[in-house]
Structure 1
Amino acid sequence: MPLLMAQQNTRFVYQATLSPDSTNVEKKTELAYLDTDGKKSVFYAENSMKRDSLMERMRATKNFDREQMQNLRSNLQFTIEKDLTNQSLVYKSRIGRDNYSYPETPVFEWKILPETVKIGDYQTQKAETKFGGRTWYAWFTQEIPFQDGPYKFYGLPGLIVKVQDAKGDYSFDLMQTKKIADIYQPLNRGQIITLSKSKYTDMEKKMQKDPASFVNAQRNTGGRGGGNRPGMDPKEMQERQKRMEAEIKSRNNPIELK
């Protein structure tokens, strides 16, 4: 494949297959996008782009439809922006009311294995690494000259076409490749609070343990990342809290275990 491809903006469409809830054997599937020019990339859920588009339309028409937004919820509630030249990334997500980010320079000690297999149109080779408390297997192709892949993965001599953990809880499979005019820039709603990864992880654990107390504490500090919000009907508030607690409890098997 000509090197010219590495100088163009490309969108790689992956199918994400996830088991975020260890108590539910039913896997979740959705599409995720990796937009890259070979030097930088952004990885995000397809539904995040659809929600951003819907939000802009609702702001323009001043017609907010909560049900439409709920239908576009994602199990990949984060954006990962990579600087492939410096082999670093910024992880952005939301905890409760606020937006957070942390910088990371993950070290992937890839072990390239002799096994090769054709996946779709591409000849691939298998590799193995340990990351986030899981063993991961990746299949990469040198036919696409991007040393990148879905989620935080990068650093193999070609694009990662497929990656999955040894338990089969999470996998990402390349489905489609598109040329795009520009790399997508997800909407930032409110201020983003930058933390270290360890502090972000601590906050996630607090939220998982006691969602109501965590969100109430955020509300009392004015919700720094989300801005102050108008008062909500107490009954609606209670229903929203129940939904939130059930959703958080169902996310008990994160992609990174440590």
Structure 2
Amino acid sequence: MANPVNGKVIIDFSHIPRAFFIPEVFKTGEKVEIYDKILGVYYKYETDQKIKWTLINETKTISTYRCRKAIGKYRNKNITAWYTEDIPISEGPYTFKGLPGLVIEAYDDKDFFHFSLVGLKDLSELVAPITNVISTDYERFLKKRTDFQNDPAGAFFVTTGKHVPKDQVERVTKMHRKNNNHLD
């Protein structure tokens, strides 16, 4: 912003960190549904994983909240969650729910995934799930995602009817294979 061009400020957003985490989770009663996207198409499946939390007698303050520690396992990842009983709702990011307070921070033991609450907002309207989705189960979704990562150019053709230019196939394949660290 220090170097305006023709009186206009140019902001380069390419260096601003952004989330590459696409899945959204909606909980209705005990039912938890995950919405995830492959090549612009949203899929919905009900999670078959419930985290069995172990409450740890350890506390720390995050922002202004006194938080307690819990650990659990989600698929093949060990998860640490810090929750506050000051906000007595059993919610958190992704599927990290079911604790006696709001999850303020959660991460896996390798810190590949790290969620931190950045703010709370009082909404007057309900948050609605994504529409125009393909309902499936986890195994079918996983197969579709694996097939896409193994052959993204082929999946692009099947979805759009357009071919990836031959000189771009290797680049596209490499680009999509590097995004292979999924939370599930």
Counterpart CA distance in 2 for 1:97 and 1:180 is 28
Question: 1:193: which partner in 2?
Answer: 134
* Count of equivalent residues: 168
Structure 2: unaligned runs, 5 residues or longer: 1-15
SS at match of 1:176: coil
Contact kept? 1:97, 1:215, Cα under 8 Å = no
* 3-state SS of 1:145 partner: coil
Match of 2:157?
Answer: 216
Q: Secondary structure at the match of 1:198?
A: helix
Alignment gaps of 5+ in structure 1: 1-27, 31-73, 221-231
What does 1:157-236 align with in structure 2 at a 5 Å threshold?
157-185=100-128, 188=131, 191-219=132-160
Single out whichever of 179-188 and 207-216 deviates more from structure 2: 179-188
Give SS of 1:249's match.
Answer: helix
Structure 2 residue matching 1:107: 3-state secondary structure? coil
Which entry has the higher C-alpha Rg, 1 or 2?
A: 2
The aligned counterpart of 1:80 is 25
What percentage of residue pairs aligned between the two structures are identical? 24
Q: TM-score, normalised by structure 1?
A: 0.58
Q: CA deviation at 1:214?
A: 2.1
Change (3 A) 1:242 1:98: farther
Q: Secondary structure at the match of 2:98?
A: coil
Q: Which has the higher strand share?
A: 1
Select between 157-166 and 89-98 the one with higher mean Cα deviation: 89-98
Q: Secondary structure at the match of 1:204?
A: helix
1:166-202 deviation digits (Å, cap 9, x = unpaired) = 00111111121121222333664xx421111111011
Structure scoring higher RCO (CA < 8 A, sep ≥ 6) equals 1
SS of the counterpart of 1:175? coil
